[in-house]
Amino acid sequence: MTDLQSEPTSRAPTAPWSEERPTAVLVLADGTVIEGKGIGATGSVQAEVVFNTALTGYQEILTDPSYLGQIVTFTFPHIGNVGANDEDIEDLTPAARHGAVGVIFKADMTDPSNYRAARHLDAWLKARGMIGLCGIDTRALTSWIRENGAPNAVIAHEPSGAFDLEALKAEARAWSGLEGLDLAKVASSGQTSHWTETPWIWNEGSAELAADKARYHVVCVDYGVKRNILRLFTGLDCKVTVVPATSSAEDVLALKPDGVFLSNGPGDPAATGAYAVPMVQALMRTDLPVFGICLGHQILGLALGATTAKMHQGHHGANHPVKDHTTGKVEIVSMNHGFAVDSGSLPEGVEETHVSLFDGTNCGLRVTGKPVFSVQHHPEASPGPQDSHYLFRRFVNLLREKKGEAALPERA
C-alpha cells in the first residue's frame, strides 16, 4: 500500500530541509497532510479527491459540472501552457462557477503559450474561486486513491502558510461525502432557456443555428449539462430547450418535444429520486425518444428499477475503453463518474449495451421495444476522443423515424 506519510509531499511544516513554507495543504479524512504551493483562490473547501488521466483539455475538465464537490488531481504533470479562454468552458452558467472546487498539479503552472489564450490559468482559477495546490507527487496521491478509494478531504490555500491543521483534519473527517448528496439541483441552470450555438470549428469558432435549419425539437433536462453536448445536438439540426432539473413530465411535454435528453451532472443519482425518477417514468409511458448521458444514464436506470452504487475510485479520464455490444466495436471514450448502475440489477426488458473494458462496469442500456437508451460515458468528449459521436446520430435517427424520415448514417 502506498504510504503518503512517507512521501516528501506530506512532510511536516517544520521539516528542516523544507526550502520554503508551504502555502497550501491537502488534508485527507484519515489525517494525512500533503503540503505544496498554493495557486488560484485562497480559503478552504471540503470535497472528494479524484484523479483525471486526460492529457489535454484541463479547462473543459475543471468546468464540467459533474465535478461539483470534487478536487481534481491531474496525472499529466504540466498544466497551464494553453492558458484559459472564454470558449473552452463547459458549464452552462459560468457565473455560478459550477465545476471542480479544487485542483492539484505536480509542476508549477506554466505560462500560457497558445494563440487562443486570453488569460493566465492562475488568474482564471482566482476568478472562478477555485483553490489549487501544486508541487506535490501526484503519482503517489493517484496510487493512494487507486488502492484506498477517493477520499474526503479539505484543500486550503493561505499565502502566509499559517494553517490550523487540527481544525482542517476535523473538517475533513466531518464532511459527509457525496453519497446521499443531491447536487443536480445545485448544478442545474434553474430556468428554461434556448440553446442555438453550433459545434466549434477550428479557426472559425461557433455559429448560431438558423431558424430554418431547426428540424427537430429536443428538450434537455439540465442536471448539470455540458455545452458541447448541446452543440452536438444543434449540429444535427436540433432546436434545444433546456429546462431545470426539477421539471415535471407535464412541464416537459407541454413544450411538445420530438425527444428528451437527460443530461450529465454531479452527486449521488439516488438522491434525485424524489423528483427525477417519477418524471422519467412518466416520460417512458409516452412514445417519445429518450437519451441519457452520465447522471442521466444513472437516473434512467433507477427509473427502470435498477440500482446504483458508489465506485471505489470512479472513472475520470479521456482514455477509457468501452465496448458497444450493439456494434461489437471498442471505443476509446471520455469518462467522469463516481457512481455506476449495477448491471446485475437491470430488470427484464432492459438490455446492457455498453461495458467498461477496464473493470466490467455498466456503461450503457436500452429498453426493449422503446426508443429509450443511455450511456455512462461522455460521447461529446470535450476533452477526449470523438469515437462515440455516433450516439447523437443514433438518437436523432429515433426522432427521424418518428417523422417517417430515412435514417442518417451513424458515422458521418
379 upstream amide cis, omega within 30 of 0: no
The DSSP code sequence of 256-323 is: --SEEEEPP--S-GGGGTTTHHHHHHHHHTTT--EEEETHHHHHHHHHTT--EEEEEEEEEEEEEEEE
Phi, psi angle pair for 251, to nearest 5°: -60, -45
The CA distance from 129 to 183, in Å, is: 18
Give me the helix-helix angle, 295-303 and 276-284, nearest 10°. 70
The set of cell numbers assigned to 338 is 463516481
The CA distance from 242 to 309, in Å, is: 28
Rg of the chain over all Cα atoms, to the nearest angstrom: 21
Q: Tell me the sheet residues that pair with 161.
A: none
CA angle 139/144/145 to nearest 5° reads 100
Looking at the annotation, which residues are catalytic? 294, 378, 380
The 3 state secondary structure assigned to 107-144 is CCCCCCCCCCCCECHHHHHHHHCCEEEECCCHHHHHHH
What DSSP designation does 150 have?
A: P
Cβ contacts of 105 within 8 Å, gap of 6 or more: 39, 74, 77, 79, 80, 132, 133, 134, 135, 138
The CA distance from 296 to 225, in Å, is: 10
The CA distance from 136 to 71, in Å, is: 14
Sign of CA dihedral 347, 313, 122, 29: positive
CA angle 216/222/223 to nearest 5° reads 145
Spatial contact of 340 and 309, defined as CB atoms under 8 Å apart: yes
